[in-house]
Each structure stands twice: as structure tokens, then as C-alpha cells.
A and B are shown apart, each in its own frame.
Chain A
Amino acid sequence: MVVSILFGLFTVMAITCALGTVFHRNPVHCALFLVGVLLSMSGMFIILNAPFIAAIQVLVYAGAIMVLFLFVLMMLNVRGETPLLTPGATKGFGILFGIVALAELIWIVLAPGIEEWRPGPAPNLPADFGSPAAIGRILYTTWLYPFEITSILLLIAVIGAVVLSRRKFE
């Protein structure tokens, strides 16, 4: 009962904030709405017995990445929209991505095996489900290669940023 109410609350919050992120004109307000989306998603992770993921979600995305986003937005002081593409190109891309997203959605809904995804009684979870130790074990055994490759990717990005920012401009 309590879980259902909380789920409804977080869902409404997430969708409202997501709409705000897309439709608001002021970039800083958009970024703040995105923080709202991240926080409500973190609430959903807690409902799903994953407090570790919930905390990381807030710590990394809301606490660090979004602050840097805001930092850039404030430095550039972009008030109102500054269009990157011509209006026609924007509309074309919008329609294209809309069709792709719709096709994906239809494909998922019609796919076989969707019955298993219907909400039902919660399965019996192991005692350490969602604990840092359990996540660490999976991450360093089953998913070791993807995990290490991701870390190398991040390292490359860091080195790239350092090189680009150190380059002298003639």
C-alpha cells in the first residue's frame, strides 16, 4: 500500500520534471527539472530494494554531473534558446527520432514474453539483494570486462580533456 502510493508519487514527479526538462525555455530551469527526474528515479530505486544504486544515482548524477552542467550553463549565460540547427532540420530530426522511438515502443509491447513483465507479487529476494557487496561481486566477476572497458573509456575521456585544455591557441 505504502509502496504503491510512493511509486505513484515518484512517477508523477518524474514525468512532470521530464516534461519540464523538455519544454522549459530557460536552460538553467531545464537542468533543475532534470535534477528532479534523477531524484525521483533514485526514490524508485529505493522502492525496488536497491538503496546502493539510489545513493549512487544522487551522488554521481545529481550531486556532481548536474552541478557541472549548471556550471557551464551559468558561465555561458545562455538565456533563452540558441538554436544549433535550422528550424527545418530540427523538425526533420524531431520527426525521425519520434518515429524511431514509437517503433521501439510498439516492438517492445508486441514482443513475445511481455507477459512475464506484468507487475505481480514481488519475488523472493536473496538477503543481500542490492547490497554493495552483492553488486561488487557481480561487477567484478560476471561483468568484469564491460566494467574495465568502461573505465578505460573514461580514462581516455579524461586524458582527452586534459590535452584539449592544455593546447595553446595561436
Chain B
Amino acid sequence: MTPALLIEAAVKAVALLACLLVTVLYVVWLERKVLGHMQDRIGPDRVGPFGLLQTIADALKLFLKEDMIPTQVDKVVYFIAPAIPIVTALIAMSVIPFGDSIQLFGQTIPLHVTDVNVAILFLLATTSMGVYGIVLGGWASNSKYPLLGGLRSSAQMISYELAQGIALVGVVMMTGTLSLSEMVRQQEHLWFVVPQFFAFWIYMICAVAETNRAPFDLPEAESELVAGFHTEYSSMKWSFYFLGEYANMIVVSAVAICVFLGGWRGPFLPPAAWFLIKLALFLFCYIWLRATFPRLRYDQLMAFGWKVLLPASLLNLAVTGVVLVVAG
């Protein structure tokens, strides 16, 4: 590895980090605006034009807030836990290709931080580590509601991870690769959402459950668990959980775009623009879901994951295999 390559990788990593954090801030703004309009309200409109600076003001407020630490917490774990979801999300983003290579300073620079040949597994591995943030936060708080929230979420996330991974295997079988860039390359004529229609829906349902978003936001069901795993967290530690949730939404949407929706491919506009348009569409759907559906009951959630989604994803796998063999 030459110094030039090292610098290139470092610059890309820092740029990705900055872009992602700014995007997260504006996803929060988008969520409040869209939810507001769907509920016949206006949403934030006081700070800046259209309330655009509202989340920045909120972030500043959270920085300056008093950080309450309950006396009986497990100090080390309590401090580490909130960082885990956002750190794993940021690591996972490093293998997402945002666009085709660009020419800069006479060099060809691919628009991803790194291209591992097992990108899909890398993504599943890092996102599966994210569950630790919630489990440990719930346990370290040494309080009954966070503990129950943490236990629920670990069960929920492990159950839905299975179907999510198996849904992606269908596309892996079609392309014969685990690399995301190669998958995007093979979608030149046909987006995989067409042949792998069911896998796409299974993946999206699991993705919503994985990120603990409504209607699967059981770990923090207010009416039963106060605020779930982050009940005892305040100030910046709480906002780390908050940022982690949105960063994870962006990661699972980016994976869905790369695997099923042709990645950065699209007519007329530059590749990176298409990627952002698709990403915005996914995030809008997330918010739309939250405004539309009531929360599931816990046993309904587990039954749905194990008795509907998992068999469906296995069936999809079997059918894909048969079709691939028959079609040669």
C-alpha cells in the first residue's frame, strides 16, 4: 500500500463520516417535517428557513444539557454502550459504493472507501454487532425497564437478522459474488428487484425491524417500557443512541439500493445523485411507515419473524436455486 493510496483512503473515510453525520441531522429534520404534515401540522419552522436549523439547535442543547448518571450503573459498560450502534453503522458504510469512479487530479478514484470481496458478509457482521449497544445499555443501566427493553431487542434483532441474511443470499446466488460493486455492475440491464421481488420485500421488512423503527419499535414501547433501553440515558449519551438509529437506517437503505435497486445506476443525472435520490426515497418510506402503522404486539412480532418471514425467505432461496439450475 503506497502513501498516496493511504491518504486517498483516509480522505474518503473522513469525507464519508462528515457527510453521513450531516445527513443524519437532516433526516431528523425530514422526519419531523414529514410526520408533521402527515398529521396535519406544520412541524418545526422557527429556527432558520423551514426550520432547517432546528436539529442543529437541538444538538447544541443536548451538548449543554446536564449528563445524569444513576448511582448503581455499571460505569464502563454504561459509557461504552451508546457508542456501539453508531460506530458499527459508520464502519458498515465503508463498503457501500456511492457512484462510479471519478477522475480527480489525473487519477481514477472509486467512490467507496474500500471494496472487500466479501462486502455483504462484512455488512451483516458489523450490523449484527450493533445489537450490543442496545443490550449492554439496557443491562448497564441496572434498572428494570431498560433491562426488559434490551432483552426484547436482542431477541428481535437476532430473529430478524436470519431472514434478512437469507433474503440477500438469493441475489448472491444470481450474481455469484459477495462484492457490492460487482453486484451494482451486474445490474446494468435489469435491477434485481424484478427477479428477486420477494427477497426485496423480506429484506425491507427485516430492515425496519433491525433498526427498531415503527411498527417494530418494541424495545422502546413507551406505554409498556417507559423509554426502553435508553430510559436511564440523558444528554449526549442519549443522542448517540438517537444518531445511531438514523445512521443504521441509512446503512440498511444503502444496502437495499446496492443489492436490489441498481445502486448508483440511473439515466441523465450523475451516479452519486441517483444514489442520493434513492436513499431519500427509502428514508421517506421509513417515516411514512411510522406515521401509518400502529406498533405490533411482542408475540405477534416474534411469530411473524419466525413463522412467516423465515420460511418465506427459505422458499425464495429454494425457488431461486431451482430456476438457476433449470435456466442453466
Is A64 touching B116 in the complex (CB atoms < 8 A)? no
* A55 and B118 in contact, given A28-B139, A63-B129 (Cβ under 8 angstroms): yes
Q: In the complex, what residue of chain B is closest to A73 when comparing beta carbons?
A: B139
B143 interface contact, C-beta 8 A: no
* A67 and B131 in contact, given A32-B77, A55-B118, A132-B118 (Cβ under 8 angstroms): yes
B254 interface contact, C-beta 8 A: no
Is A59 touching B135 in the complex (CB atoms < 8 A)? no
Is B125 touching A63 in the complex (CB atoms < 8 A)? yes
Determine the distance from Cα of A89 to Cα of B10 in the docked complex, in whole angstroms: 55
Interface majority SS (helix, strand, loop, mixed), chain A? helix
When the two chains form the complex, which single residue of B121, B136, B147, B158 contacts A55, counting CB atoms closer than 8 Å? B121
Is B151 touching A74 in the complex (CB atoms < 8 A)? yes
Which size bracket describes the interface of A in this complex? 20 to 34
Is A64 touching B161 in the complex (CB atoms < 8 A)? yes
B126 interface contact, C-beta 8 A: yes
Is A58 touching B118 in the complex (CB atoms < 8 A)? no
Q: How many A-B residue pairs have CB under 8 A?
A: 70
* A71 and B155 in contact, given A58-B129, A63-B129 (Cβ under 8 angstroms): yes
Instruction: Report B-chain residues with C-beta under 8 Å of the C-beta of A29.
Output: 77
B227 interface contact, C-beta 8 A: no
* A59 and B125 in contact, given A67-B158, A71-B135 (Cβ under 8 angstroms): yes
Is B116 touching A51 in the complex (CB atoms < 8 A)? yes
Q: How far is the CB of B204 from chain A (nearest CB, A)?
A: 21
Determine the distance from Cα of A52 to Cα of B178 in the docked complex, in whole angstroms: 10
Residues from 150 to 166 in B contacting A, C-beta threshold 8 Å: 150-151, 154-155, 158, 161
Is A63 touching B131 in the complex (CB atoms < 8 A)? yes
Is A71 touching B121 in the complex (CB atoms < 8 A)? no
Is B135 touching A70 in the complex (CB atoms < 8 A)? yes
Is A74 touching B147 in the complex (CB atoms < 8 A)? yes
B39 interface contact, C-beta 8 A: no
Determine the distance from Cα of A14 to Cα of B12 in the docked complex, in whole angstroms: 30
B124 interface contact, C-beta 8 A: yes
Is A52 touching B121 in the complex (CB atoms < 8 A)? yes
Residues from 33 to 67 in A contacting B, C-beta threshold 8 Å: 35, 51-52, 55-56, 58-59, 62-64, 67
Is B77 touching A28 in the complex (CB atoms < 8 A)? yes
Is A63 touching B154 in the complex (CB atoms < 8 A)? no
Determine the distance from Cα of A55 to Cα of B121 in the docked complex, in whole angstroms: 6
Is A63 touching B139 in the complex (CB atoms < 8 A)? no
* A52 and B118 in contact, given A58-B126, A58-B128 (Cβ under 8 angstroms): yes
B122 interface contact, C-beta 8 A: yes
B26 interface contact, C-beta 8 A: no
Q: How far is the CB of A74 from chain B (nearest CB, A)?
A: 5
- Provide the B104-133 mask, 1 if CB < 8 A to any CB of A, else 0: 000000000000111001101110110110
Determine the distance from Cα of A99 to Cα of B327 in the docked complex, in whole angstroms: 60
* A58 and B125 in contact, given A68-B158, A131-B117 (Cβ under 8 angstroms): yes
Determine the distance from Cα of A73 to Cα of B200 in the docked complex, in whole angstroms: 35
Instruction: Report B-chain residues with C-beta under 8 Å of the C-beta of A56.
Output: 121, 125
Q: In the complex, what residue of chain B is closest to A133 when comparing beta carbons?
A: B176
B1 interface contact, C-beta 8 A: yes
Instruction: Report A-chain residues with C-beta under 8 Å of the C-beta of B150.
Output: 74
Is B128 touching A35 in the complex (CB atoms < 8 A)? no
Determine the distance from Cα of A2 to Cα of B132 in the docked complex, in whole angstroms: 30
* A55 and B77 in contact, given A28-B139, A74-B147 (Cβ under 8 angstroms): no
Determine the distance from Cα of A63 to Cα of B160 in the docked complex, in whole angstroms: 13
Instruction: Report B-chain residues with C-beta under 8 Å of the C-beta of A131.
Output: 117
Instruction: Report A-chain residues with C-beta under 8 Å of the C-beta of B74.
Output: 26, 28
Is A51 touching B132 in the complex (CB atoms < 8 A)? no
Is A71 touching B128 in the complex (CB atoms < 8 A)? no
Q: How far is the CB of B139 from chain A (nearest CB, A)?
A: 5
25 interchain pairs, CB-CB under 8 A: A28-B139, A51-B117, A52-B118, A55-B122, A55-B125, A56-B121, A56-B125, A58-B126, A58-B129, A59-B121, A59-B128, A62-B125, A64-B128, A67-B128, A67-B132, A67-B154, A68-B158, A70-B139, A71-B151, A71-B154, A74-B139, A74-B151, A132-B118, A132-B178, A133-B176
Which residues of chain B have a CB within 8 Å of any CB of chain A?
1, 74, 77, 116-118, 121-122, 124-126, 128-129, 131-132, 135-136, 138-139, 147, 150-151, 154-155, 158, 161, 176, 178
Closest 3 CB pairs of A and B: A63-B128, A55-B121, A58-B125
